[in-house]
Amino acid sequence: MQELKIFHEAIQNPGSVALKMKEKKRKTIGYLCSYAPEELIYAAGFHPMRLFSSKAEINLAESHLQAYCCSLVRGILEDSLSGKLDYLDGTVFPHTCDSIQRLSDIWRIKTKYEFFADVIMPAKLNTQSAKNYMRDVLIKFTTDLEKACGEKITRSALKKSIAKFNLIKTNLKKLYELRSQNPGILKGADIHAIVKGSMIMDRDQLVELLPAIVSKVSDVSALDQGKRLVLSGSICDSPDIYDIIEQAGGVVVGDDLCTGQRWFDGKIPENEEPMEALTTRYFERIVCPAKHSSTIARGENIVKLAKQTEADGVIFIILKFCDPHGFDYPYMKEFLDKEGIKNILIEIDDHSLNSGQLSTRLETFMHMI
């Protein structure tokens, strides 16, 4: 499929995307977490781009972040310090975990991009006052963006932006649904490129490409099925993992990842007051473990997702040194065990994947389910 090539190229070289955007008079603002309100960044005339680690060897970041900091956070800092992110015009740090909190401080002190903002979201998402606060934070962020772009973000610009992101996210959701019905329509590594690319590429291009992909895969006739699997964790940014899963006889049919369903699920109502609608979506979206909506929200969600997708098993993919996911794993496992849903934990380092060991473990897991 011709469209896929564009995604694969984009994720391999986000810098070239940023340069192209500059030609279109859109400056690129990088962000570090799926709670970054892309809709606002775009409405202000900027190009929002999620940052991933290029997985380069840690060298310069070593003198800022100790070895017990996760590879994603260290990797992104390394990229910045080594000049790999010089194409950025700014960065946004939504408050996430303790590691990103300190990365924000180090970034603010050490890096020299034009724009910088902390978007200090509430950590609890189950009270009216927290929702009001989130709204206040989004308004404050709007003002920061307006100062940077020198113009007001009009209500209609925000509405248009919301509609655009809705279109992108709705198509991703459709793609996931189609894949769940007919796994194999796309390779895991291709879906990874599409989702990741959708956080990196020109949004005007995405609204053309994604519906085209959806329509092409809708016509694919039923393919061989493997063991149906759901992934759960923070990010899964190693395409190799998808290949290994497929070689071991599995197909991914859904995910609870922040580079997946947690990010794109939850359409923003387009007929409501845009700022209110935006607040509600970020407040009510599928929760990240660094935030609190209830003590059992994530356990219930993973069981629901596994059942909806008729999964044979769940693979927990957790970045080493990731506290929020590490703390949630035992109880989420317990929720799945109670329902008789088989699961396995894989701890990964974003920088070095032990493929041999991983495929052995996954093959064993596929035999068990």
Partner 1 sequence: MNDKLVEKEKQKITSAKKMRDIMTTYYIDAMSAKENNKLVAWITSGGPVEPLIAMDIIPVYPENHGAMIGSSKMGEDLCMKAEDMGYSNDLCSYARTDISCAIVKGGPIGGLPEPDMLICCNNICGTVLKWYEIQARFFNVPLFIFDTPVCHTEFSPEIAKYVRTQIDEYIAFLEKVTKKSFDHDKMAEVGKISYQGQLLWQKVLNTTANRPSPMTAFDAFFFLALIVTLRGTMIAVDFYKELLLEMKERIKNGISIVPNEKYRLLWDNLPIWYQLKWLSSKFSDHDACLVADTYTSAWCSSLKYIDENDFLNSIAEGYTRIYLNIGVDQMADQVIEMIKFYNIDGFVMHSNRSCKPYSFGQLDIKRIVESKANIPVLMIEADMTDPRAFSQSQVETRIDAFMEIINQGK
- Contact residues toward partner 1 (CB under 8 A) are 63-66, 68-69, 95, 97-99, 101-106, 108-110, 118, 120-124, 127, 129-130, 132-133, 136-137, 140, 289-292, 295-296, 318, 320-321, 323-324, 326-331, 333, 345, 347
Q: How far is the CB of 350 from partner 1 (least distance, A)?
A: 15
| Smallest separation, CB 76 to partner 1 (Å) | 13
According to DSSP H, which parts of the chain are helical?
2-12, 14-23, 38-43, 71-81, 98-110, 128-149, 155-181, 188-197, 203-218, 239-247, 261-264, 274-284, 297-308, 323-338, 355-368
Q: How far is CA 228 from CA 188, 221, 264, 342, 343, in A?
A: 12, 18, 21, 11, 12
| Closer by beta carbon to partner 1, 2 or else 63 | 63
Residue by residue, DSSP assigns 104-162 as HHHHHHH---SEEEEE---SB-SSHHHHHHHHHHHHHHHHHHHHHHTS---HHHHHHHH
Nearer Cβ to partner 1 (169/291): 291
Q: Between 105 and 114, whose beta carbon lies closer to partner 1?
A: 105
CB of residue 171 vs partner 1: minimum separation in angstroms?
33
Q: Is the Cβ of residue 198 or residue 301 nearer to partner 1 in the bound state?
A: 301
Determine the Cα–Cα distance for residues 232 and 322; give it in Å rounded to an integer.
Answer: 13
Q: Which is nearer to partner 1, 141 or 176 (CB)?
A: 141
- With a CB cutoff of 8 Å and minimum separation 6, the contacts of 323 are 97, 98, 99
CB of 295 to partner 1, least distance (A): 5
Least distance (Å) from partner 1 to the CB of residue 9? 34
- Min separation Cβ 106 and partner 1, Å: 6
Q: Which is nearer to partner 1, 246 or 328 (CB)?
A: 328
CA-wise closest residue to 237 among 352, 97, 79, 350: 350
